[in-house]
């Protein structure tokens, strides 16, 4: 396996958006092989909640994406959603192992493989947890978003599984290159789609006047005294 491929996967998270979690390894969403389209739900019109009521005086009310949000079902949903996602990402020590060079050291290769297997398994469990996460009644847009985010975790897990699962030996250099390029394409898809999901998430937070992700927002961390992560 080429060192260039592994480094490109490991450092995919470095060119991240400002509020991307420090322990996240990818920058994108679902693979083409998995459905990322908006889920069609045949719900009766009476079960779809109307748009949120905007404050009568927006000057004195908490603003969209402000630090403090009203205690409401949508706020509680996002706070549980944020915690579930953050806990599903690689731990700091795992991130170090996944990004350090191999230096022709077989022990490092074995440790990378075990770490990738653990991270992949956690991604799968996080996807399942998101699909089981309750959504405020009638909020189909939030239900759609969490399904797409769950797809993203499954897709990120798929990239690692492509690298660590046993494969039949390539018969030619061209066949080996195609295998590596296939992984590259999948990883690039994960990276790109993550940015689309972030745009969708910010739009929903603004609509429901919910604060930024408290695990990643720089202002939140500064006010709360959370040490800056590098």
- Model confidence pLDDT, tens digit, residues 181-191: 888 899 999 99
pTM over 0.85, yes/no = no
**Which domain covers residue 189, as residue numbers?**
3-12+68-224
DSSP symbol at 65: B
Q: Let me know if residue 125 belongs to a domain.
A: yes
Q: Let me know if residue 41 belongs to a domain.
A: no
Q: Let me know if residue 48 belongs to a domain.
A: no
Q: Let me know if residue 49 belongs to a domain.
A: no
Structural domain count of the chain: 1
What residues in the chain have per-residue pLDDT under 70? 1-47, 49, 51-69, 217-230
Which DSSP string do the residues of 101-170 spell out, in sequence order? Answer: --TT-HHHHHHHHHHHHHHHHHHHHHHHHHHTS---TT-HHHHHHHHHHHHHHHHHHHHHHHHHS--PPP
Q: Let me know if residue 44 belongs to a domain.
A: no
Residue 53 pLDDT? 62
Q: Let me know if residue 220 belongs to a domain.
A: yes
- Model confidence pLDDT, tens digit, residues 154-163: 999 999 999 8
């Amino acid at each position: 396996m080429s060192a260039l491929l592994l480094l490109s996967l490991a450092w995919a998270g470095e060119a991240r958006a400002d509020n991307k979690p420090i322990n996240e390894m990818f920058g994108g969403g679902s693979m083409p092989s998995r459905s990322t389209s908006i889920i069609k739900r045949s719900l009766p019109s009476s079960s779809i909640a109307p748009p949120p009521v905007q404050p009568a005086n927006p000057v004195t009310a908490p603003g969209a994406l402000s630090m403090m949000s009203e205690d409401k079902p949508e706020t509680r949903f996002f706070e549980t959603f944020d915690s579930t996602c953050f806990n599903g990402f690689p731990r700091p020590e795992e991130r170090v192992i996944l990004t350090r060079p191999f230096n022709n050291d077989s022990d490092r290769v074995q440790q990378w493989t075990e770490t990738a297997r653990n991270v992949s398994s956690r991604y799968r469990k996080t996807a399942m947890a998101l699909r089981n996460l309750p959504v405020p009644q009638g909020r189909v847009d939030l239900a759609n978003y969490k399904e797409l985010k769950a797809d993203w975790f499954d897709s990120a897990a798929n990239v690692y599984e492509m690298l660590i699962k046993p494969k039949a030996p390539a018969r030619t250099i061209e066949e080996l290159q195609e295998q590596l390029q296939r992984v590259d394409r999948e990883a690039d898809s994960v990276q790109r789609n993550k940015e689309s999901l972030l745009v969708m998430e910010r739009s929903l937070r603004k609509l429901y006047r919910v604060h930024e992700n408290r695990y990643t927002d720089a202002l939140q961390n500064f006010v709360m005294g959370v040490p800056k992560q590098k």
